[in-house]
Each structure stands twice: as C-alpha cells, then as structure tokens.
Structure 1
Amino acid sequence: MKLLMYFSGAILMLQGCAFAKDPDLGIIEYKSKCALCHGYDDKGDGPFAKQLKTKPSDLTLLAKNNGGVFPDDIQEKVDGRKDVDAHGPRDMPVWGNRPVRAGEFGQKTRMKALIDYLVRIQTK
C-alpha cells in the first residue's frame, strides 16, 4: 500500500512537471496554420511555398520592410479578411473562422498570440 502511495505521488509530480511551462500559443498557431507556406523558420520557404504564385513573405522582416515599425494592418492580413494575392482566392477559409471546441482558446486569444509571436520574431 505504501509503495502504491509513493507511485501515485510520483505520477502526480511528473504530471505537474509536464505542465509547469505554459505552451506558447503563438508558436502553436503559427506552426499549425502558417508554417506550411511561410516556413518553419518564418522566412517564406515552407513546403507549400513553391506551389503559390507569389512567394510567401519572410515574416521576420515585416517591421524592417515597413520602415522599422510593425505593420498595423497585420491582423487583417493574418486572418485572411484582407486580400493577399499569395493566399489565393477568397474561397480559401478565413484563418479565424473555425468553430471553437470545448477547452480551446477563442479566435481573439489565438489571433493576439499569433501576432505577439510575429512581433517577437522580427529582425532587429
């Protein structure tokens, strides 16, 4: 019985360790929604990039290419509501339009996290 209590305690402790660091929602969103085109290194060289008629942007240069200021209209570009030629026709789903299942973060939270990630990866 004592061994079982120690074993149970060890399992609970290990579970706590697994969740000790919060996941970076911005990275998760980027890797799951953007990386196939923009690349896993954010430089526009993802596995699907060659299939697009316009090369995806190097997302580490957004601020540099905008006079050193992170672009204000990035949210419209990120979620697909503003036309971006490389993103294809409007029948492509808008990024934020997907049902939120129980336990998931809402659209605004995911968008804010993704934009925060993009801000953090900017080349100085």
Structure 2
Amino acid sequence: MVKSRISAVILALALAAGSAQAADVSNGLISGEADFKMYCASCHGETGKGDGPKSFGLSTPAPDLTTLTARYGAFPRERLAELVDGRAPLAGHGTREMPVWGVWFKEEAADGLGGAEGDDSTVARRVANLIDYIATLQGLN
C-alpha cells in the first residue's frame, strides 16, 4: 500500500534524525505526543493552535485544539476518538481531508511499524494516548 510505504519512510526519517520524541514509547506504543508531532502538527501546529504549515491549504481551517474544553464545556474525549479513528464524519468538509488515523495506525502495525501489533485494542490505546496528549494542550492560549 502506498500509504503504508509513505508512513514507513516518514517514520524511518524521523528515527534516523534521532528524534527522541518519535521514539518515545508509552504503554508499549509510540506516545501520544510523538504521534501528535508526527501526524497532527503539520495541520494543527506544534502547539495545537491550528497554525501548522499545511493548514493554509485546507478547505476548512484546522481547529485550535487548545480551546476544546472551553468550547465544549468539558474535554470532548469521545468525540475526538470518533473523529480520529474514523467513526464520525467531519461536518462541512465534503470529502474528509483529515486522515482516519485508526486505519493508518493499523496499517503501520501490519507493516511492523509504530510498536503496535495491529489488533483493535492496541490501535484504540494508541488513539487514546493521542487524545490524552491533546487533553494536555487545553488552556495553553
């Protein structure tokens, strides 16, 4: 699969560059912070404010992830899980620009990348670690 090969190249480059963050392991998986920096920061920005270098070419701007709790009244953990793993569509987008990371993580595991076995519970833990990291970004405005 092309996506899998691209993922392998990205991961290999990050590891070759000596990125401690990409190799940071949590619960036997790549940490939520490392996954955020690898997969989310290009659109959402390093600090989650929606100002990543690829955000300017999107049809709908990448949201500021540091204000989720303020906007929703409580951190929308389940809603984020549904968006990240692909169960929920992204309203107003027409076609989905944000990749379905649950599927991507499963493909990486099938190729022996990402420290995951590829079973649903492992992928769910990786998504949960990513969401836990996004929760730490709240109130950083």
Q: TM-score, normalised by structure 1?
A: 0.70
Give the aligned partner of residue 43 of structure 2: 37
Q: Percent identity, aligned pairs only?
A: 42
Give the aligned partner of residue 73 of structure 1: 79
Q: Aligned-pair distance for 1:73?
A: 1.2
Give the aligned partner of residue 120 of structure 1: 136
Quick one: which of 51, 54, 64 aligns to 2:57?
Answer: 51
Residues 26 and 114 in structure 1, CA contact (< 8 A), matched pair in contact too: yes
Quick one: which of 105, 115, 118 aligns to 1:104?
Answer: 115
The structure with the largest alpha-carbon Rg is 1
1:63 pairs with 2:74: no
Q: List 4+ stretches of structure 1 deviating above 3 A.
A: 85-88, 90-93
**Higher fraction of helix:** 2
Structure 1 vs Structure 2 CA RMSD: 2.6
Q: Aligned-pair distance for 1:109?
A: 1.8
Q: TM-score, normalised by structure 2?
A: 0.62
Q: Aligned-pair distance for 1:59?
A: 0.3
Q: Which blocks of at least 5 consecutive residues in structure 1 are unaligned?
A: 1-17
